[in-house]
Amino acid sequence: MADLNKWSLLALAVLAAVLLALPQVVTNSFAVDIFIRILLFSFIGVAWNLMGGYAKQLSLGHAAYFGLGAYTSTIMQIDFNISPWIGMIAGGVVAMLASLPIGWLCFRLRGPYFTIATIATAQALMLVFLKFRDFAWGAEGTTLPNLGSAPLMMQFETKASYYYVVLGLLAVGLLITYRIEKSWIGYYLVAIGEDEDAAEAIGVNAPRIKRDIYMISAFLTALAGTFYTQYIYFIDPATAFSFNISIEAALVSIVGGIGTLWGPVIGTVLLETTSALLQSWLGSSTGGIQLTVYALILMAVILWRPTGLMGMLNEMLQRPAHHEKPARARSVL
Amino acid sequence: MSDALVIAGLNKRFGGLRAVQDVSFTVKQSETVALIGPNGAGKTTSFHLITGFHHADSGSVKAFGREIVGLKPHDVCALGLARTFQVAKPFGAMTVLANVMTGAFLRDRHVAAARETAREAIEFVGLSAREQTRAKDLTTIDQRRLEMARALATQPKILLLDEVMAGLNPSEIDQAVALVGKLSQAGLTIVIVEHVMRAIMAVARHIVVLDHGQKIAEGAPKEIVENPEVIRAYLGSGYVHHLAGGSHA
Amino acid sequence: MLEIVIQAVVNGLLIGGIYALVSIGVTLIFGVVKIVNFAQGEFVMIGMYITYFLFSYLGIDPLLSLLVSMPVLFVLGVLIQHFLIRRVLGPNDMPQIFLTFALSLLLLNLALLLFTANYRTVHTFYSDEAFHIRGIYVPVAKLIAFVVAMGLSGALWVFLHTTDLGKAMRAAAQNRDVATLMGINPNYVFAVAFGAALALAGAARSLLMPFYSAYPFVGQVFVLMAFVAVVLGTLGNVIGALIASLMMGVAESLGIQFVGADSGLIVVFAMLLLTLAFKPNGLGGGRVR
């Protein structure tokens, strides 16, 4: 069990301490907002990574679940006065259920066509929510009633509280990913991603595993949707089912290191920081500059370092490793 | 000795092409049978049919009495039939150990137990030194070994080997033959598709010959080598008189 | 009532012909180079802007600029294939998907930056003309587009099936390794395929300009249509893509006519989802994917 050696645990503890203390130390509202964004998109990336990173099922339609989560909790809150905490879980369940027919449809295609099918289903969902005003406010969406400080209804006075909520979500996501990675499921996922036929030949029930991991991925993504809605007090189909969310989910994982535990986190830090810097240099996002830069980064990563930042890190760590193999080099992936 | 694998009337066509036509043969428990034939004879397709990668149009395949036509590949494997592929399909990004552990998980989901089983299989095929190597960095013969180890980790009763000797040099072939012998001694039932005659003669008790999707001969190695139909299939009718020996002229 | 239906069908066919150009390009690349070019729509978009600028500043009619744009785009396609695409060909899907996706993202957002999101239109002397055949309104511009589109598709088909290079492309599509053994240089063939696909996209845009506006997101609309057509028509099947595009054009048109203005997309998605559900290999019923 050399993976959790002393140094790793120590590093983890330090990281946790820093993260917990951060909003107490840095009180600039703009900065905390960036931290929240980073944590949120790390979480979305981690959720995506389970399916896209390990099992290489490259979905660009995860916004579908983000939106379903957002709408479920919001409808439950506004129409039935049910706490978003419950709504969040309910949203997750709705997303899980939705992933079954969507998965069934999309998994009938492989490779890029799977990806396209996922894009199509997310777009289709957005269209549905745009058209139907009866149960979901149509294209204009709605704002959430501001209840001031109402922790039971997931509304807080201070940004720091939101920070802790999303930090908790990220921790949950990382924990789930870690447990999966180290278990037989993790091995099966990578096997499916590497060569689905070979995996089948050694007893891996690929369709079932893909379906199951898709459900988990959808569930987690939906939680993020609920949180985001609560944070910005607003929901509409264009925001909730935004293609940009799907893109960023995949992007942070690829740039950071596809199929690794910390990849999405590192990727998010890089991309969101870049985005924030651009925003402060060039004023409010001149439509297109952010995505242009993202696109360039993505191209650079694909052409020169497909394993992402984590891959670079692994390579750097493996060179000096002759006798003492660092924990990472020994990991399966 | 009971029948491990009974194949009866297997048929498969792809569009207009009859890839496998009414193929039937039986493999007894712990026996090693070679499936040979010229390229395109339907050998690999037969493997695909047996292991569930293709759906047979008609026919039956019984493994230890149990009908397996129509089952998905992972179910076939769970029942005890493992196979290797003609072109090795390692999980490139994973280490050798991880590759084989993935196979071992079929029988036991616990990581420690799977690691044990995997190490045994790796040692059996002689890959222990490469345990931590990434599969994509292995040599061809080591990748073949890996395929075998991974299949063995699923603790099969029947093993289907698809051209494991292709592209190996003579000394490597000897090693592979020895390995197959070891497997056979361990009690495994083996069906091996091969082109390398030397290997076939060394390991197979019984040979089934396919040509253009049909079974054209079956029997002990010595009979097969002298069988005019077989000679014709491989070399053309010109050679039949040449090689069939005096008694068949 | 019948007239309305026929009108809708005619409209659909005309626009379907254009979709065909884009989708044939996509299916060609997929069939030969075996990758999905997410950026195909953006090439159409870029072309439209070029056509727009040529028209606005130099007064060159879009149809004429076609003669310029197709070769230019062909060369562009060859270059992109050579420098970018070639480096990500391989067993792993991920790089190719995201590379062309990134390219698409890059082009789209560059356009957004450079040209802003405003709609640009080109108004030629025939933009508003139309034939009236027995009460059916057939816009001249669209008719020309349709005819040229069919002509180009036909020319492509002939090229693929009669010329040596065309056959080489089909051979490389079916089995890259064997084709190499036969002396066909896959990179050369891929470059041609890519170039051809881009040229088709270029043609599409020139043909579209008289009646369609240029704006940064126009590529997205077309590429989604194109992909659906490619899936419907079976991956890699040129004729299939053509027929599917026409069908989709008609379906979308009928949807707009009878269901509502923005239901075109929904109809298309419905078609995609139904196809996925029941015939995932496409209506061509051929290749196993």
* Residue C239 to chain A, least CA–CA distance (Å): 19
Instruction: List the single range of A195-199, A277-281, A329-333, B220-224 with lowest mean pLDDT.
Output: A329-333
Query: How is chain B split into domains, by residue range?
Result: 3-80+159-248, 90-155
pLDDT, one tens digit per residue, over A51-70 is 999 998 899 999 999 999 99
Residue with the larger pLDDT of the pair C166 and B74: B74
Share of chain B above pLDDT 70, in %: 94
Given this model, what pLDDT does residue A12 score? Answer: 86
pLDDT band at A2 (very low <50, low <70, confident <90, very high): very low
Instruction: Name the closest residue on chain A to residue B97, using Cα atoms.
Output: A332
- Residues 6 or more apart from A264 whose CB is under 8 A from it? A42, A45, A46, A48, A49, A53, A252, A253, A256
Q: What is the mean pLDDT of residues C70-93?
A: 73
Cβ–Cβ pairs < 8 A, chains A and B: 84
Chain A hits for C259, Cβ within 8 Å: none
Summarize the confidence of residues A234-240 as an average pLDDT. 88
Residue C286 has pLDDT above 60, yes or no: no
User: What pLDDT shows up at residue C283?
Assistant: 57
pLDDT > 70: what percent of chain A? 92
CA–CA dist B178, B202 (Å, integer): 9
Q: Which residue of C has its CA nearest to A128?
A: C266
**Count of Cβ atoms closer than 10 Å to residue B58 Cβ:** 11
pLDDT range class, residue A281, cuts 50, 70, 90: confident
pLDDT above 60: residue B246: no
Cβ distance of C272 and A117 shorter than 8 Å: yes
Choose among A170, A148, A140: nearest CA to A240: A140
| Residue B90, phi then psi, degrees to nearest 5 | -80, 160
Q: How many CB atoms lie within 10 A of CB B53?
A: 18
Q: Are β-strands A234-235 and B66-67 bridged in parallel, bridged antiparallel, or unpaired?
A: unpaired
The answer to whether C110 touches C42, Cβ cutoff 8 Å, is no
Q: What is the distance between the alpha carbons of residues A193 and B233, in angstroms, rounded to a whole number?
A: 40
3-class DSSP assignment, residue C289: coil
Least confident of A283-287, B45-49, B236-240: A283-287
Nearest-angstrom CA–CA distance, A143 and A239: 12
Higher pLDDT: B104 or C249? It is B104
Q: How confident is the model at residue A223 (pLDDT cuts 50, 70, 90)?
A: very high
Chains touching C (3+ CB pairs < 8 Å): A
Chain A residues whose CB is inside 8 A of the C45 CB are none
Which comes out higher in pLDDT, residue C62 or B64?
A: B64
**pLDDT confidence tier of residue A325, bands split at 50, 70 and 90:** very low
CA C202 to chain A, closest CA, distance in angstroms equals: 23
Nearest to B78 by CA among B87, B86, B88, B68: B68
Is C288's pLDDT higher than 70?
A: no
With an 8 Å Cβ cutoff, is C36 touching chain A?
yes
CA-based nearest residue to C93, from B203, A192, A128: A192
**Mean pLDDT over the full length of chain A:** 85
Render C59-128 in DSSP notation, one character per residue: ---HHHHHHHHHHHHHHHHHHHHHHTGGGG-SS-HHHHHHHHHHHHHHHHHHHHHHH-S--B----TTTT
Hey, which residues does B192 pair with through a beta bridge?
Answer: B34, B161
Q: Verify whether the Cβ–Cβ distance C99 to A303 is below 8 Å.
A: yes
Residue position matching structure tokens 């499921």: A185
Average pLDDT over residues A240-250: 90
Q: What is the pLDDT of residue C112?
A: 77
Banded pLDDT at A149 (limits 50, 70, 90): confident
Whole-number Å distance between alpha carbons of C289 and C279: 12
Q: When comparing pLDDT for B158 and A160, which is higher?
A: B158
Q: What is the pLDDT of residue B128?
A: 92
Asked if C196 contacts C35 with a C-beta cutoff of 8 angstroms, the reply is no
pLDDT tens for residues C244-279? 888 888 887 877 777 766 666 777 777 777 777 776
| Cα A141 to Cα A79, A132, A145, A241, C265, distances in angstroms | 14, 11, 13, 12, 21
Mean pLDDT, range A75-102, rounded to an integer: 92
Quickly tell me which residue has 């994982």 as its tokens.
Answer: A253
**Other beta carbons within 10 Å of B119:** 18
- 């070399």: which residue's tokens? B235
C-alpha radius of gyration, chain A, whole number: 20
B189-193/B32-36 β-pairing? parallel
Integer angstrom CA distances of residue A239 from A9, A64, A173, A232, A236: 38, 11, 23, 11, 6
- Number of CB atoms found within 10 A of residue B69's CB: 18
> Which one of A3, A202, A331 would you mutate to disrupt binding with B, by most B Cβ within 10 Å of its Cβ?
A202
Cβ distance B129 to B172 under 8 Å?
no
- pLDDT tops 80 at residue C77: no
Could you report the per-residue pLDDT of C96-110, keeping only the tens digit for each?
778 888 888 888 888
The whole-chain average pLDDT of chain C stands at: 72
Least confident of A144-153, A155-164, B44-53: A144-153
Other beta carbons within 10 Å of C231: 29
Residue-level pLDDT at A68:
94
Q: Which residues pair with A264 in a beta bridge?
A: none
With CB atoms and an 8 Å threshold, state whether A200 touches B74: yes
Distance CA(B64)–CA(B5), nearest Å, equals 6
- Range with lowest mean pLDDT among B62-71, B77-86, C83-92: C83-92
| pLDDT for res B238 | 64
Q: How far apart are CA A205 and CA B72, in angstroms?
A: 9
Answering whether pTM is above 0.95, one says no
In chain A, which residue's Cα lies nearest the Cα of C114? A288
Q: Which residue has the higher pLDDT, C246 or B132?
A: B132
| pLDDT 10s digits, C154-163 | 777 777 777 7
One-letter identity of residue C42: E
| pLDDT over 90 at A169, yes or no | yes
For the cut 50, the answer to whether the pLDDT of residue B111 exceeds it is yes
Q: Which comes out higher in pLDDT, residue C273 or A298? A: A298
In whole angstroms, give the CA distance from residue B58 to residue B21. Answer: 10
Segment A302-321 mean pLDDT: 75
With 60 as the cut, is the pLDDT of residue A158 above it? yes
Helix (H/G/I), strand (E/B), else coil: B23: strand
Give the list of residues 6+ apart from residue A257 with CB closer than 8 angstroms, or none.
Answer: A263, A266, A267, A307, A308, A309, A310, A311, A313
Cβ-defined contact of A201 to B106 (cutoff 8 Å): no
The CATH number that domain B3-80+159-248 falls under is 3.40.50.300
Q: How confident is the model at residue C27 (pLDDT cuts 50, 70, 90)?
A: confident
The string of DSSP letters for A207-255 reads: HHHHHHHHHHHHHHHHHHHHHHHHHHTEE-HHHHT-HHHHHHHHHHHHH
Asked whether A35 and A23 are in contact (CB, 8 A), the reply is yes
- Residue A286, pLDDT score: 59
In terms of DSSP bridges, do strands B32-36 and B206-211 run parallel, antiparallel, or are they unpaired?
parallel
Contacts of B91 in chain A (CB under 8 A): 190-191, 194-195, 198-199
Residues 161-220 (A) with a CB less than 8 A from some CB of C: none
The pLDDT of residue C280: 62
Judged by a CB distance cut-off of 8 A, whether residue A258 touches chain B is: no
Rounded to two decimals, the ipTM of the complex is 0.88
Q: How far apart are CA B82 and CA A329, in angstroms?
A: 31
Nearest CA in chain A to C103: A295
Confidence label for B212 from pLDDT (cuts 50, 70 and 90): confident
Mutate to test the interface with C, among A292, A297, A305 (most CBs of C within 10 A): A292
Q: Please, are residues C17 and C248 in contact by the beta-carbon 8 Å criterion?
A: no
Query: Is C98 in contact with A298 (Cβ distance < 8 A)?
Result: yes
Strands B3-14, B158-162: pairing is unpaired
CB atoms within 10 A of CB B170: 9
Task: Nearest chain A residue to B156 by CA: give it.
Answer: A202
pLDDT of residue C132: 74
User: Residue C89 pLDDT > 50, yes or no?
Assistant: yes
Burial A256-282 (b: 16+ CB within 10 A, else e): bbbbbbbbbbbbbbbbbeebbebbeee
